[in-house]
Amino acid sequence: MSGDFLIRSDGLSVGFQIGKGLFNKSILKAVDDVSFEIEKGSFFGLVGESGSGKTTLGRALLKAVPITGGHATYDDGDVKYDLAELNGPSLKDYRKRAQLIFQDPYAALSPRMTVRDIIAEPLEVMGLTKSRAETDERVREIAAKCRLNLEHLRRFPHAFSGGQRQRISIARALVSDPKFVVADESVAALDVSIQADVLNLLKELQRDLGLTFMFISHDLSVVAHTCDHVAVMYLGRLVETAPTRKLFEAPKHPYTKALFSAIPSLDPDDRGTAQKLEGEIPSPTNQPSGCKFHTRCPHVTNICKSEEPKLQHVGSAQGHEVACHRWQELFQAT
Amino acid sequence: MSSLIDVENLTLQFKTDEGLITAVDDVSFSLKKGEVMGLVGESGSGKSVTAKALMHLNSRNAVYSPESKITLHLEHQEVDVLSLRKPSELQVVRGGAVSMIFQEPMASFAPAITIGKQMAEQLMLHGSMSKAQARQVSVEMLDRVGISDANKRFDQYAFELSGGMRQRAMIAMALSTKPKLLIADEPTTALDVTIQAQVIDLMKSLVDEFQMGIIFITHDLGVVAQTADKVSVMYLGELIEEGPVREVIRTPAHPYTQGLLSALPKLDDIDAPLTPVPGDIPSPLERPPGCVFHTRCSKTIDNRCSKIRPSQHHLDTGHSVSCHIYPEGDRG
């Protein structure tokens, strides 16, 4: 592996305390002992069903939720931070370097602010520009990069369509010149004909500005087309991580396989042939023992119920890891 | 013969402060018993408004044109849906012979009333059952859609159920009155893929069992390919292409349908570049003249597409399309 990683996570955990009072306190582990690296300048995909902890993991890396266990480091060459230790001035500086693009462009933009003010707000809050003229110039520069019409900067968000709004959100996230951007379901609320346009824009910006993206999505086909590396989460754990091509050609975890076969095929003659998962993702407050996936896994055996599998390397493939007791006998051939 | 519902020249406008907005423009289609129709379109295309018109459920500021006609053919009567006025008359299309499954199952159940009470209420209204009968039928139905421990679930509230379970309960509720026509408005959009696959399976088996007609509204062409017999594609309130599912998906005729299909990220070729449909969907306040799609179309013909509204052409692949690139009068 090349050694140039922007983000390294080592046993990262995020727990939330639920229940009040002295005796019925319990901890909900939303992210549980997760280790991975994000290469500089890459598009890292994070997939999973709702409740898998993917959003919480993204927010932990932005220091938007407290990290309760393990370590995560950020290293862009200029500075190096231990994310769990960030506070005061270092946290302020990190906010500039790591940004978030939200899911719903209708909810993320204040209806009372002009597009110019929305994009300029991070600059003003962080004190990154010295004069109004400088702010305006920076706003115009990033708006043009995000293919926004400069005429539109004086308008309010209600005048824009979903795709245009998402481009405004992207401009706002990128105006402070971040190095690391978490895009949380950023195209999920968009129509198909617009979605492709926003994805292409994100890729273009990544190349031009040298950004590193963590792209959180439930849509595997979108992830397949945009990401270089994909991690699959289930109930707070990473179950498989691999370079995109490897993952899509030969998934090794039964959950990853099931996710693929659940995608409705565009071929009307290919109906109902897929292997379907039974049941639903268990509640994180009441997690199964052993392998978290054993309650829905078609290949479950006794060891799966008692012992939790660790992430292990798959063959010689770089960066392909899977957490399953039986992957070798099940999917070695494929 | 055996047509279940006929929609003819449906045109629907909304009165707003900013003027009259055309939501549906001259849409006609019909559906047979036991047939599944996919109604596809992006946000603002008028697919939900069309579906609601079938239940005469649009808000008070909706204005139907005088030519609009929706006829529901039941065993013993013909119902002219748009002429219904009184609540007692409307019952037949609202939960009686026609049921609807909504997109967001959390928002569609009343939060302070148990699931069971909501299910039983409509059975007592439509089927004039006793309370005990209604409970029995509801529990059977919950069981049928794969909800375990149905007797207990009957007395629970919507927040106590997971997303997938709520959508199953919604389906159970919609089907318990044994409707002839089921309208499903984005029933799987809010669900995870694994749960979506389960719900699609469930709906398919229920169509076989109950032999009703289904109008399946979705923006997901994959879901349509998996469920529908025929497809209608809408754009800005107009029906631009319709036909059997295989033909529409394999050989799309309208440039918009072609664009939609190529904008879709495909799993079998992950290196293929994504080709978006250029431009944005116009605001309904600024509906383009001529062909509604000409502002985003790559195949526009000068001084035709921007002026003249295309008429419907029947292709020899068995489907019909409204587009000027097919010569006038060409029938294959």
ipTM: 0.81
Confidence of residue A1 (pLDDT cuts 50, 70, 90): very low
Residues of B in contact with A189 (CB under 8 A): none
The CA distance from A321 to the nearest CA of chain B, in Å, is 21
Residue of A nearest to B275 (CA): A196
Checking if the pLDDT of A98 tops 60, the result is yes
Dihedral sign for Cα atoms in the order A145, A151, A155, A160: negative
**In the block, which residue shows the tokens 């990069």?**
A145
Checking if the pLDDT of A3 tops 60, the result is no
- B42 with B238: CB under 8 angstroms? no
Dihedral sign for Cα atoms in the order B264, A45, B269, A333: negative
Dihedral sign for Cα atoms in the order B195, B199, B204, B206: positive
Residues of A in contact with B249 (CB under 8 A): 266-268
pLDDT for the residue A317 = 66
Residue of A nearest to B281 (CA): A161
pLDDT for the residue B331 = 43
- Does A245 contact B270 at a Cβ distance shorter than 8 Å? yes
pLDDT for the residue A332 = 67
Residues of A in contact with B162 (CB under 8 A): 280
- A244 with A230: CB under 8 angstroms? yes
CA nearest neighbour of A256 among A207, A289, A300, A293: A293
- Grouping H, G, I as helix, E, B as strand and the rest as coil, residue B197 is helix
- The rounded distance, in Å, linking the Cα atoms of A36 and B134 is 54
- Give the DSSP letter of residue B75: S
- Does B276 contact A195 at a Cβ distance shorter than 8 Å? yes
Condensed to tens digits (0 to 9), the pLDDT of residues B253-306 reads: 999 999 999 888 888 888 888 888 888 888 888 889 999 999 999 888 878 899
| Encoded amino acid at B328, one letter | E
Confidence of residue B328 (pLDDT cuts 50, 70, 90): low
Share of chain B above pLDDT 70, in %: 98
The CA distance from B101 to the nearest CA of chain A, in Å, is 20
Checking if the pLDDT of A334 tops 60, the result is no
Burial readout A223-256 (b: 16 or more C-beta within 10 A, e: otherwise): bbbbbbbbbbbbbbbbbbbbbbebbbebbbbbbb
Strands B98-101 and B3-16: unpaired
Residue of B nearest to A274 (CA): B197
Interface test with A, best of B147, B153, B194, B202 (most A CBs within 10 A): B194
| Encoded amino acid at B314, one letter | H
DSSP string, B279-321: S-PPPGGGPPSSSTTTTT-SSPPTTTTTTSPPPEEE-TTS-EE
Q: Which of B162, B246, B265 sits opposite A225 (nearest CB)?
A: B265
| Strand boundaries in A113-191, DSSP class E | 180-184
- The rounded distance, in Å, linking the Cα atoms of A255 and A299 is 10
- B118 with B157: CB under 8 angstroms? no
Mean pLDDT for all residues in chain B? 89
**Mean pLDDT value across residues A260-288:** 81
The CA distance from A129 to the nearest CA of chain B, in Å, is 33
Give the DSSP H or E segment for A233.
Answer: strand A229-234
- Does A259 contact B194 at a Cβ distance shorter than 8 Å? yes
Report in angstroms the alpha-carbon separations of A83 from A9, A31, A66, A211, B33.
10, 15, 9, 19, 61
Going by C-beta distance under 8 Å and a sequence separation of 6 or more, which residues neighbour residue A319?
A1, A229, A241, A242, A243
Report in angstroms the alpha-carbon separations of A192 from A213, A268, B219, B220, B262.
21, 19, 8, 8, 10
Return the minimum-mean-pLDDT range out of A133-137, A261-265, A314-318, B82-86.
Answer: A314-318
Return the minimum-mean-pLDDT range out of A97-111, A213-227, B103-117, B229-243.
Answer: B103-117
Checking if the pLDDT of B133 tops 80, the result is yes
Residues 219-278 in A contacting B (C-alpha not used; CB under 8 Å): 219-222, 224-225, 244-245, 248, 258-269, 271-272, 274, 276-278
- Does A280 contact B221 at a Cβ distance shorter than 8 Å? no
- The rounded distance, in Å, linking the Cα atoms of B54 and B49 is 9
- The rounded distance, in Å, linking the Cα atoms of B33 and A150 is 53
CA angle, B241 then B245 then B251, to 5°: 65
CA nearest neighbour of B61 among B24, B11, B13, B22: B13
- Does B201 contact A244 at a Cβ distance shorter than 8 Å? no
Report in angstroms the alpha-carbon separations of A208 from A173, A190, B140.
15, 24, 59
CA nearest neighbour of B127 among B173, B76, B78: B173
Contacts 24+ apart (CB under 8 A), B240-245: B240/B292, B240/B293, B240/B321, B240/B322, B240/B323, B241/B319, B241/B320, B241/B321, B241/B322, B242/B29, B242/B319, B242/B320, B243/B315, B243/B317, B243/B318, B243/B319, B243/B320, B244/B318, B244/B319, B245/A268, B245/B38
How many Cβ atoms from other residues are within 10 Å of residue B133's Cβ? 14
pLDDT for the residue B241 = 96
- Does B267 contact A259 at a Cβ distance shorter than 8 Å? no
pLDDT for the residue A44 = 96
pLDDT for the residue A275 = 66
Report in angstroms the alpha-carbon separations of B274 from A66, A164, A217, A293.
37, 18, 17, 33
- The rounded distance, in Å, linking the Cα atoms of A124 and A171 is 15
Condensed to tens digits (0 to 9), the pLDDT of residues B64-90 reads: 999 999 999 998 889 999 999 888 888
- The rounded distance, in Å, linking the Cα atoms of B181 and A324 is 46
Checking if the pLDDT of B204 tops 60, the result is yes
Residue of B nearest to A196 (CA): B276
Task: Please compute, for residue A29, the number of CA atoms within 13 A of its CA located in the half-sphere on the CB side.
Answer: 17
Confidence of residue A91 (pLDDT cuts 50, 70, 90): very high
Confidence of residue A148 (pLDDT cuts 50, 70, 90): very high
CA angle, A322 then A179 then A312, to 5°: 10
Size of interface A-B (CB pairs under 8 A): 128
Going by C-beta distance under 8 Å and a sequence separation of 6 or more, which residues neighbour residue A289?
A305, A306
Of residues A334 and B146, more confidence is placed in B146
Residues 112-171 in A contacting B (C-alpha not used; CB under 8 Å): 161-164
Checking if the pLDDT of B329 tops 60, the result is no
- The rounded distance, in Å, linking the Cα atoms of A206 and A173 is 13
Going by C-beta distance under 8 Å and a sequence separation of 6 or more, which residues neighbour residue A227?
A43, A44, A45, A215, A244
CA nearest neighbour of B6 among B36, B41, B32, B38: B32
- Does A50 contact B163 at a Cβ distance shorter than 8 Å? yes
The CA distance from A251 to the nearest CA of chain B, in Å, is 13
- Give the DSSP letter of residue B92: I
Checking if the pLDDT of A172 tops 90, the result is yes
CA nearest neighbour of A123 among A86, A95, A156, A154: A95
Report in angstroms the alpha-carbon separations of A133 from A21, A306, B19.
54, 64, 40
pLDDT for the residue B283 = 81
Checking if the pLDDT of A85 tops 70, the result is yes
- pTM (2 d.p.): 0.86
Checking if the pLDDT of A94 tops 90, the result is yes
CA nearest neighbour of A146 among A212, A200, A215: A200
Return the minimum-mean-pLDDT range out of A253-257, B264-268, B307-311.
Answer: B264-268
